[in-house]
Amino acid sequence: MYILNKIKFYFAFLIIMLSFESYGQSNNFKVALDAGHGAHDFGAVYSGRIEKNIALAIVLKVGKILESYPQIDVIYTRKTDVFVGLVERANIANRADASIFVSIHCNANKNTAADGTETYVMGMNKIASNLEAAKKENSVITLEKDYKQKYEGFDPNSPETMIGMTLMQEEYLENSISLASKVEDAFALLGKKLRHGGVKQAPFMVLHKAYMPRVLIETGFVSNTVEGELLNSEEGQNDIAKAIAEAIISYKGEYFGDGGAETFGEKPSQKINENPVKSNETPEINKTIIKKDTIGSIYKVQLSASKKKIALEPKNFKGLKNVSMIYEDQIYKYFFGETTDYNEAKNQLSEAKSKGYDSAFLIALKNGKKISVQEAIK
């Protein structure tokens, strides 16, 4: 019996190690999703609208969308109503070597007229309202055992004390702002349903300890009757989750390559006659672009992808000129602009988005092969 149990133990150990090794070697884009609060930490509560429940519901919906895409792994800090310490939430993402960390919350204010979303990046901003938001979220640490020893030197009621602690914000700040901007841009598309409040900086402990591009999203005010009911509804949560997921997909596309997830951007005009092309047809434009790319590294803005061929005319792409196309894996991909200058590429991306291609993203090519934008920048 002893020998049998020993064999079972070693077999189980081997399976665990193999699984861990396989996971650790994954080249997938890893998204760490953090549902704020949990268990005895209810977060903000107004008229039966409970932050911990709303945050978890939105996180699970975002995760479900992302998990349907290839080359994306989703890591959750919690999937049930449990309590997780702030540092442990960040460490879950750190141990998984996550590509980004997204913490989802709901806002609240004594002024019940306050409304709108806010997406935060890590920073030492002195604006009073930002510090108040950080104090509210950081106060969770007082619910943890031995928090005074664990967070020695940090006072949750005085976020400025974080200044004296080691910060790694600068390394990830630009990418964090990019991700936060995409989230707020996606919220803006919800129109009158939800007012987007913009990107802000504040010293959140959960962001401070996550060593990757990271954002904290306040999805709206549960203290506001109208907005609170939207956050507490299935429809509202679905809309918010889709917006966040699209922002993440857009960020992945710009910095890590599309990985097959480009269909979010399929928005060219459908008014023209779109004739499907047989799978063995290779448009001449494809050959032209590939030949041109072999000269060196260039950036393009990917507008959309479709299984149908669309005439490369400005009227079919909301007035955008210099649109090109390639055909690969039986899919037509449409691009705007072409430059070797990253800043110019970002200007072209902004132009595409101003025309309505909200999920457009940058791609980079070197010697005719696609590389990540980050690699091209380096």
Token representation of residue 183: 């989230």
224 DSSP 8-state letter? S
Q: How far apart are CA 71 and CA 80, in angstroms?
A: 25
pLDDT in tens, 237-267: 999 999 999 999 999 987 876 543 333 333 3
pLDDT in tens, 37-78: 999 999 999 999 999 999 999 999 999 999 998 889 999 999
- The domain spans of the chain are 26-256, 262-377
Rg (CA), the chain: 23
- Region of 203 (left: φ > 0; alpha: ψ -120 to 50; beta: rest) is beta
353 or 216, which is more confident?
216
114 or 158, which is more confident?
114
**pTM recorded for the entire structure:** 0.59
Q: Reduced to 3 states, what is the DSSP secondary structure of residue 313? A: coil
pLDDT in tens, 133-184: 555 555 555 555 565 555 554 555 555 545 444 444 456 787 888 899 899 9
CATH superfamily, domain at 26-256:
Zn-dependent exopeptidases (3.40.630.40)
Q: Which of 101-110, 148-157, 207-216, 253-262 has the highest mean pLDDT?
A: 101-110
Rounded to the nearest 10 degrees, the angle between the axes of helix 234-256 and helix 51-67 is: 50
Is residue 254 within 8 A of residue 361, CB to CB? The reply is: yes
Check whether 219 has a pLDDT greater than 80: yes
